[in-house]
Structure 1
Amino acid sequence: MRIAVLAEALIDFKATGPLEFRGFPGGSPLYVGVACARLEQPTGFVGQLSTDLFGEVLLEHLKSNGLNTGFVVCSSAPTTLGFVDDSSGQPQYAFLRNGAADTLYYPSPLPGLPDSLCFLHFGSISLLEDPTRTSIEQIVQQNRARVTVVFDPNVRPSLIADRTDYLERFKFWVSLSQVVKLSEEDAAWLYPDSSLKDVSNTLLEFGALVVIVTRGMKGAELYLNSGKRLEVSSPQVKVVDTVGAGDTFTAGLMVSLLEQGFQQAQDWAKLELETWKKALEFACQAAALNCTRAGCDPPTRAELNEVLK
Structure 2
Amino acid sequence: MIICCGEALIDMVPETLASGESSYVPRSGGAVFNTAVAMGRLGIECALVSGISNDLFGEQLVQGLEHSNVATDHLIRSDLPTTLAFVKLVNGHASYAFYDENTAGRMLTRADAVTLPKECHALYFGGISLATLPCQEFYLETLAQNSEGRVVMIDPNIRPAFIADEMQYRAVLTDAFERVDIVKVSDEDLDWIDQSDATLEEKARALLGRGPSVVIITRGGDGALIYLKGSDAPVTVAAQKVTVADTVGAGDSFNAGFLANLEDNDLLTPEKIANLCAEQAREAAQFAASVAAITVTRQGANPPWRDELTA
TM range (shorter): over 0.9
Q: Separation in 2 of the partners of 1:226 and 1:235? A: 28
Residue aligning to 2:303: 298
Residue aligning to 2:69: 66
Residue aligning to 2:288: 283
Task: Note if contact 2:112-2:138 (Cα within 8 Å) is conserved in structure 1.
Answer: no
| Structure 2 unaligned blocks of 5 or more | none
Match of residue 224, structure 2, among 205, 220, 235 = 220
Residue aligning to 1:92: 95
Q: Separation in 2 of the partners of 1:190 and 1:264? A: 27
Query: Any idea what SS the aligned residue of 1:31 has?
Result: helix
Match of residue 259, structure 1, among 259, 264, 279 = 264
Query: Any idea what SS the aligned residue of 1:231 has?
Result: strand
In the alignment, is residue 38 of structure 1 matched against residue 41 of structure 2? yes
Calculate the TM-score normalised by the size of structure 2: 0.93
1:118 Cα deviation after fit:
2.3
Query: Any idea what SS the aligned residue of 2:70 has?
Result: coil
1:21 Cα deviation after fit:
1.6
1:168 Cα deviation after fit:
2.1
Residue aligning to 2:167: 164
Residue aligning to 1:9: 8
**Aligned-partner residue type, residue 210 of structure 2:** F
**Aligned pair in 2 of structure 1 residues 238, 137: CA closer, same or farther (>3 Å)?**
same
Q: Separation in 2 of the partners of 1:157 and 1:269? A: 31
What is the correspondence of 1:1-309 to structure 2 with a 5 Å cutoff?
2-16=1-15, 20-106=23-109, 108=111, 110-192=113-195, 193-228=197-232, 229-306=234-311
Q: Separation in 1 of the partners of 2:3 and 2:148? A: 15
Q: What value does the CA root-mean-square deviation take over the aligned residues?
A: 1.6
**Aligned-partner residue type, residue 96 of structure 1:** Y
Query: Any idea what SS the aligned residue of 1:100 has?
Result: coil
| Number of equivalenced pairs | 305
1:190 Cα deviation after fit:
2.5
**Aligned-partner residue type, residue 2 of structure 2:** I
Task: Note if contact 1:188-1:194 (Cα within 8 Å) is conserved in structure 2.
Answer: no
Q: Separation in 2 of the partners of 1:208 and 1:130? A: 25
Q: Separation in 1 of the partners of 2:214 and 2:107? A: 31
Task: Note if contact 1:210-1:223 (Cα within 8 Å) is conserved in structure 2.
Answer: yes
Query: Any idea what SS the aligned residue of 2:61 has?
Result: helix
Query: Any idea what SS the aligned residue of 1:71 has?
Result: coil
1:224 Cα deviation after fit:
1.1
Q: What percentage of aligned pairs have identical amino acids? A: 35
Displaced runs of 4 or more, over 4 A: none
Task: Note if contact 1:147-1:264 (Cα within 8 Å) is conserved in structure 2.
Answer: yes
Question: Which digits, 9 at most, give the CA deviation of each residue in 1:237-285, with x for residues without a partner?
Answer: 0111110000000000000011112132122244321111100100001
Task: Note if contact 2:36-2:47 (Cα within 8 Å) is conserved in structure 1.
Answer: yes
**Aligned pair in 2 of structure 1 residues 203, 53: CA closer, same or farther (>3 Å)?**
same
